[in-house]
Amino acid sequence: MAPRRVAACVVTGFLGSGKTTLLKGLLERDPGRDRIAVVVNEIGEIGIDGRVLTGFEFVENVVELASGCVCCSIDEYRFDLAVDELVRRIDPALLVLETSGVADPAPTLERLRRSGLGVDAVVTVVDARAWQTAWRVSAAARRQVLAADFLVISKADLVSKAALTRLRGRLAKLNPRALTLEGAGSAPFAGSDLILATSASRRGEAASGAPASDHLRDENIESFSWTSTGSVDRHAFESVLRDLPRNVLRAKGFLRAPGDRTAWLFQLVCGRVEVSVLEGGGGLAAGVQGVFIGPGVGALRERIAARLEACVAAIPGAG
């Protein structure tokens, strides 16, 4: 149990919606970031998002919880231990929990309260391009919208004004009480300064005490990790990512070639691939570390791994 009541902000949203990008941007701009503690939850075995955040000077403020979902499969001892560690070490003014992409909000909020944290606000990130896919395959994605105090439409610059208007209308019908904001990449957006400084939690008691469900199993959401220590052809690797089966909704990880001082962060979101320089990634071991997430992806593990391994074998002298 946390030694004193600390305000908590939950940043949630479906796989690949842009939670980490949003949180990183908010932290970079917050003058009180040295008093903000961060818990990053990922269902995969390899923690990716936490490393993206730990490029900051306040790396000691970040704790990762991997290999499970905080709402149902991370045991309370591990969660409470992570919270206690942060609260005792940095005496935070605010604790931010970035959930996994398939977290169910109600049991997540209840777990925070049982840990002695005061839930301040829920921020749900909605991908302007992929929201229809997310809501079709995951009931948790819809519940994330219903639980929000703030709805942040990410990647708003990648869709038409008409599409953005339709999405705003859908969000307003689902959750008329939430404040809806729009973001493009990591650029600041109007109202962003409200998110980490607010006391605008407006959830009713209906969310309190809701029983946790094994939604990962119910929705057949699975994940697997893949690593390689050989030389990897980045362009061939990107090509494989673009051709992955459609039920691989999310893939993310790190890539660095031997002798290359530049490390790369790769992300796949509903068929769209992004590869960008990973700041502070020069210390990563050469090779690839990746996590692949989606309904039924466990059955595809060997097939996907074989295609990824071909990117290593394609380079002369690699292996």
For 174-212, how does the pLDDT look when each residue is reduced to its tens digit (9 = 90+)? 998 888 888 766 565 655 666 775 433 333 333 334 444
More confident residue, 98 or 53: 98
Average model confidence (pLDDT) across the chain: 78
Residues counted in the chain: 319
Above 90 in pLDDT, residue 132?
Answer: yes
27: CB partners within 8 A, 6+ apart: 33, 36, 38, 53, 56
Which pLDDT belongs to residue 216? 53
Q: What is the mean pLDDT of residues 68-74?
A: 70
What lies within 8 Å, CB to CB, of 115 at 6+ separation is: 1, 2, 76, 79, 80, 83
Question: What secondary structure letter does DSSP report for 103?
Answer: -
Contact 294, 247 (CB under 8 A): yes
Alpha-carbon span 127 to 43, nearest angstrom? 20
Three-state SS sequence of 261-311 = CCCEEEEEECCEEEEEECCCCCCCCCEEEEEEEEECHHHHHHHHHHHHHHH
The C-alpha atoms of residue 8 and residue 93 are separated, in whole angstroms, by 9
253-272 confidence digits (pLDDT tens): 888 877 777 888 887 876 77
The confidence band for 61, taking pLDDT boundaries of 50, 70 and 90, is confident
pTM of the model: 0.69
Judge contact between 191 and 22, C-beta under 8 A.
no
Angle formed at CA 223 by CA 126 and CA 51, multiple of 5 degrees: 70
> Taking Cα atoms as reference points, which of 159, 306, 164, 169 lies closest to residue 228?
306
Domains in the chain (CATH in brackets) are: 6-216 (3.40.50.300), 220-313 (3.30.1220.10)
Q: Give yes or no for a contact between 249 and 16, defined as CB atoms under 8 angstroms apart.
A: yes
